[in-house]
Amino acid sequence: MHLAPSILTANFARLEDELETAFAAGIRWLHLDVMDGRFVPNISFGPMVVKSLSPLAKRHGAVVDAHLMIEEPERYIEAFAAAGCDYISFHVEATTHAHRMVQMIRGLGCKAGVAFNPATPLSSIEELLPDLHLVVLMSVNPGYGGQRFIPSSLEKIARLRQLCIARGCPDLLIQVDGGVNPSNLPAVREAGADVVVVGSAVYNAEHSIVDSIAALQAV
Element (H, E) at 196: strand 195-198
Per DSSP (E only), the strands in 56-172 are 63-69, 87-91, 111-116, 134-138
Q: Is 178 annotated as a binding residue?
A: yes
Q: Is 199 annotated as a binding residue?
A: yes
Residues 24/29/30/36 CA torsion (nearest 10 deg): -160
Q: Is 145 annotated as a binding residue?
A: yes
84 is in an annotated binding site: no
- Residue 30 to residue 23: CA distance in whole angstroms: 9
143 carries a ligand binding annotation: yes
Q: Do the annotations mark residue 123 as ligand-binding?
A: no
179 touches 139 (CB < 8 A): yes
Which residues are catalytic, by number?
33, 177
Residue 124 known to bind ligand: no
| Of the candidates 113, 93, 215, 117, the residue with the CA atom closest to the CA atom of residue 172 | 113
CA distance 85 to 172: 18
* Cα–Cα distance for residue pair 110/73, rounded to 1 Å: 15
What span, in angstroms and rounded, lies between the C-alpha atoms of 194 and 210?
A: 22
Write the DSSP symbol of residue 99: H
6 annotated as ligand-binding: yes
Nearest-angstrom CA–CA distance, 186 and 73: 33
For the annotated binding site for a divalent metal cation, the residues are 31, 33, 67, 177
For the annotated binding site, the residues are 6, 31, 33, 67, 143-146, 177-179, 199-200
For the annotated binding site for substrate, the residues are 6, 67, 143-146, 177-179, 199-200
